[in-house]
Amino acid sequence: MTEGTATPVRKSTRPEPDLAILETRVYRGPNIWSYDKAIHLVVDLGSLEDWPTNTIPGFTDTLLELLPGLREHSCSRGRRGGFVERLTEGTWLGHVAEHVALQLQQVVGHDMRRGKTRQVKGVRGRYNVIYGYADEQVGLAAAKLAVRLVNHLVDADPEFDFEPELERFIVRAERTAFGPSTQAILDEAVSRDIPWIRLNQYSLVQLGQGVHQRRIRATMTSNTSAIAVDVASDKELTTKLLAAAGLPVPRSEAVRTVDQAVSIADRIGYPVVCKPLDGNHGRGVYVNLADEAAVRESFPAAHDQSRRGWVIVETFVTGRDYRCLIIDGRLRAVAERVPAHVVGDGGHTVRDLVDLTNADPRRGVGHEKVLTRIKLDVAAEELVRSQGYGLDDVPPEGATVKLTLTGNMSTGGISIDRTFEAHPENVEIAEEAARVIGLDIAGIDFICPDITEPVREAGGAICEVNAAPGFRMHTHPTIGDPQFISKPVVDMLFPPGSPSRIPIVAVTGTNGKTTTSRMIAHVFKGMGRKVGMTSTDGIVIDERLVIRADASGPKSARMVLQNPRVDFAVFEVARGGVLREGLGYERNDVAVVLNVQPDHLGIRGVDTLEQLADVKAVTVEAVPRTGHAVLNADDPLVRAMRRRCSGDVVWFSMEPAGSEVRDLIDAHCRRGGKAVVIDRSERGEMIVVRHGRREMQLAWTHLLPATFGGRAKMNVQNSLAAAAAAFAAGAPLHDIRQGLRTFTTSYYLSPGRLNMIEVEGVDVVVDYCHNAPGMRMLGDFVDQLGESMQSTTDLGKPSRIGVIATAGDRRDDDMRELGQIAADHFDVLVVREDVALRGRKRGDTAALVAEGARARSADGARCRQVEVVVEEIDAVRHAMARANRGDLVVLCVDKHPAVLAELENWSSQAQAGSGPEDVVGDPDFTPPTR
């Protein structure tokens, strides 16, 4: 919440309704503002920046009158009424909008209390408003209504009436909210730390992750038989099966026409019941039909509610209406259902009595509250008339006036808990009925005089078996104790001790994310795990690329968690996805932060390295107490993230023994901590895993294929991070060692990342390098590789040709720096552009990169030729055309599949060459001669 008391600096003479939402973001997981999902508004107060709440007459009193629940808000004061104090002292209206949005959600039953409001640095009157939400659509609608209400209280809008607006908001929330049955199961799942994902806009929900997932739709589950649901939907077939099992059922028959209905009623005897063959919620059910005329009158409505056009005519069984709930073969709850009615007091009309009943605070719209408001529709009016009353008549004191014939809660009925009163024989009958139909969760409807007496002796019958029975009458009975029936449902889906989550490793950093993610996935694939991985190349399930796209965001992570084969997840987490939507999950077991280097600055409000580090640290903050954060001890910004981790820290470092960083790691390990480091000797560099005082040798770096004999220092560092992450995730050392020894940078294991191939005698390296820090590490690798090539070739000094590019949304200086660094390592540079220009004009990005390279070349750098070939494939062809046997060509690519295809076909395409119009050269530079 905002702090301090508002001090106005007034420039306007009266407040104007200027509060406006400029930008809206929905975070679906941990984010830079909150540990949980939240909505982020950027609002502009306009002239209201000069008008805090204590300067607007009547604002606070009217607001509290409309939303009295605001009195309970503690705000930053930490006590009840704290927000009212802030209103009285004076606070800004962006802060007020935050609290109103939270309170509106509480009105519809979403207990949201998290929020904060912070001024946008350097912009007067503009604020970041962040608040929690349970349902995304309800949270967004709350924001819009909150802004309208605040503006209305500033300057009354004659077209704005809050009460109807609030009613519409409640109805909208009801449409998108989970029903009470689904919500009860979700509440139980959350209490057990079982994650869930909403799969559609209705009630289809996934509980658990990956291979452990189960699904529910209302009260149907993954265990529910489709055949059983079909049988229960056919009331005639249900009755036949129950009768064949010797269970008490009424005589009945299905008909299609009204004449057939009358004929059956005459044969089985009046009174009868007419109901649709496959209806639900009591719609189209007409009971106690005493004669032919009543049957003929009710038949059309029952027929209209039947999807198949069949109507059941059955004997009317007198007695009370009981619902027996069976879960996993056992009776868990019994409720007596009483149809909607009013009781006369001798002074009020039927209509008045309904209004008084609906005034009960427990009644609301639809499933908004534990009881539903009674509706006086045409059917209700006819039923009242059949009892000898009109809606405006005054019933005598004590007279009961029925308003519906069925006891459904959705039509305004009430429920009385009878769970512990049911006779054991009736319990046995209900459980047997569920077994006969084959339902894991079933609602068995009894009509009998008294559930405490055996049905076979006292009379009565099973009139219906319901698949997906509602829970509200049991969890929130009008009279009696609530039954916690969601517990056996979750017990059935997740027996005690069974897992619901899969391990999640999140990898972030400026450079090296994709390669490190692939290394970790490779280690666990070798252990037999079904690994789901996301990266900038796409979504990979069990080493199969299923979606080719930039999949380093939260949506891709959720797709992996929904896959029923995955039992281990590795997510590359990019800065953009975190800023846009937060993480795609609530927590990760292992967070890996490789580095924080200058890239993506100046985008989405991230202007400094410290701000970029805050974004990267979101994954560290999402580590639970039982998890680990794998941090690069060599990077000061990453090292500082240890304070944000609730779990254990695992360091990795390239620094030599005796350095300040290694001293830090030594102290960490003496306290029982974990680390992965490099120990250097005459034989080479050994990766060592440390845990407490134990040291375990893992592998020589020069023997790992991905390091090119130890020359690729970036992959040495990535190997350290991957080993640390795998160790933290529980992988044995021999599996980690085997994974690193078998991971190569071939195109099949690591496409587009340091792939080396030979084309027509030319050594070609394909990589994704696109920023200055990455180019610095790639350049070091090229220098070492070039030296080794020179010592093994007899063709003279080989040339180094580089094709480079960067993204168009980088800062101008960052683009120039990329060119400057590349000029130190290559003889010839070919500058290209990505397909996505990201706000730049074609050629602008390449020109800036080339400008930096040429400036550095003029200062005596290695590079002697800088050329611009904008299109990627043309740039590749041009670089290959310049190369001679024994040369080294490094291609920093955007679309690596197309580039690899071009290289495979190079022999045939090289004859055509590149036209002079494709190249924009500089006459002051000349290519080196051989």
pLDDT tens for 741-766 read 999 999 888 999 999 998 888 999 99
User: What is residue 643's predicted lDDT score, i.e. its pLDDT?
Assistant: 95
Strands 461-467 and 441-448: antiparallel
Can you tell me the mean pLDDT for 175-189? 90
Q: Cβ-count burial of 830 within 10 angstroms (0-12 exposed, 13-18 middle, 19+ buried)?
A: buried
The answer to whether 539 touches 547, Cβ cutoff 8 Å, is yes
Residue 4 in this model has a pLDDT that exceeds 60: no
Please report, for residues 50, 173, 876, 889, 895, the alpha-carbon distance to residue 842 in angstroms, rounded to integers and kept in the order given.
45, 47, 18, 25, 17
Q: Cβ-count burial of 347 within 10 angstroms (0-12 exposed, 13-18 middle, 19+ buried)?
A: exposed
**pLDDT tier at 398, thresholds 50, 70, 90:** confident
Residue 188 in this model has a pLDDT that exceeds 90: yes
Can you tell me the mean pLDDT for 538-543? 93
Q: Where are the alpha helices (DSSP H) in 622-687?
A: 636-639, 660-670
Q: Point out the least confidently predicted range of 42-46, 107-111, 259-263.
A: 107-111
Sequence-distant (≥ 6) Cβ neighbours of residue 520 within 8 angstroms: 505, 507, 570, 592, 722, 725, 726, 729
Residue 927 in this model has a pLDDT that exceeds 50: no
Tens digit of each residue's pLDDT (9 = 90 or more) over 347-366: 899 998 988 888 888 777 66
User: What is residue 741's predicted lDDT score, i.e. its pLDDT?
Assistant: 96
| DSSP code at position 79 | S
User: What is residue 918's predicted lDDT score, i.e. its pLDDT?
Assistant: 41
Tens digit of each residue's pLDDT (9 = 90 or more) over 225-250: 999 999 999 888 999 999 999 999 98
User: What is residue 282's predicted lDDT score, i.e. its pLDDT?
Assistant: 66
Q: Point out the least confidently predicted range of 309-323, 647-661, 665-679.
A: 309-323
User: What is residue 791's predicted lDDT score, i.e. its pLDDT?
Assistant: 53
User: What is residue 920's predicted lDDT score, i.e. its pLDDT?
Assistant: 40
**What does R_g of the chain's alpha carbons equal in angstroms?**
36
Centre a 10 Å sphere on the Cβ of residue 570 and count the other Cβ atoms it contains. 32
CA angle 396, 397, 402 (to 5 degrees): 70
- The closest of 157, 150, 156 to 44, measured between CA atoms, is 150
Q: Cβ-count burial of 78 within 10 angstroms (0-12 exposed, 13-18 middle, 19+ buried)?
A: exposed
The answer to whether 509 touches 617, Cβ cutoff 8 Å, is no
- The closest of 533, 540, 571 to 554, measured between CA atoms, is 571
Q: Which pTM does this prediction carry?
A: 0.86
Q: Where are the alpha helices (DSSP H) in 30-161?
A: 59-66, 82-89, 93-107, 136-154
Can you tell me the mean pLDDT for 614-626? 96
User: What is residue 904's predicted lDDT score, i.e. its pLDDT?
Assistant: 86
- The closest of 746, 749, 727 to 736, measured between CA atoms, is 727
**pLDDT tier at 921, thresholds 50, 70, 90:** very low
**pLDDT tier at 340, thresholds 50, 70, 90:** confident
869/832 Cα distance (integer angstroms): 5
Identify the residue with better confidence: 550 or 633: 633
Can you tell me the mean pLDDT for 461-466? 92
Tens digit of each residue's pLDDT (9 = 90 or more) over 434-460: 999 999 999 999 999 999 999 999 889
User: What is residue 140's predicted lDDT score, i.e. its pLDDT?
Assistant: 96
To the nearest whole percent, how much of the chain has pLDDT over 70? Answer: 94
Residue 275 in this model has a pLDDT that exceeds 90: no
User: What is residue 252's predicted lDDT score, i.e. its pLDDT?
Assistant: 84
Tens digit of each residue's pLDDT (9 = 90 or more) over 840-857: 999 999 999 999 999 999
Tens digit of each residue's pLDDT (9 = 90 or more) over 802-815: 999 999 888 999 99
Sequence-distant (≥ 6) Cβ neighbours of residue 601 within 8 angstroms: 607, 608, 609, 612, 810, 811, 814
410/279 Cα distance (integer angstroms): 14
Reading the block at residue 282, the tokens are: 């009591």
User: What is residue 929's predicted lDDT score, i.e. its pLDDT?
Assistant: 34
Reading the block at residue 825, the tokens are: 């390592």
Residue 925 in this model has a pLDDT that exceeds 90: no
Residue 923 in this model has a pLDDT that exceeds 50: no
Tens digit of each residue's pLDDT (9 = 90 or more) over 554-604: 899 999 999 999 999 999 999 889 999 999 899 999 999 999 998 888 888
Strands 320-327 and 363-364: unpaired
The answer to whether 507 touches 725, Cβ cutoff 8 Å, is yes
487/188 Cα distance (integer angstroms): 6
405/428 Cα distance (integer angstroms): 28
User: What is residue 14's predicted lDDT score, i.e. its pLDDT?
Assistant: 76
Can you tell me the mean pLDDT for 237-265? 92
370/874 Cα distance (integer angstroms): 68
User: What is residue 379's predicted lDDT score, i.e. its pLDDT?
Assistant: 82
Residue 367 in this model has a pLDDT that exceeds 70: no
Residue 795 in this model has a pLDDT that exceeds 80: no
**pLDDT tier at 177, thresholds 50, 70, 90:** confident
Tens digit of each residue's pLDDT (9 = 90 or more) over 87-114: 999 999 999 999 999 999 999 888 899 9
Reading the block at residue 164, the tokens are: 């109807």
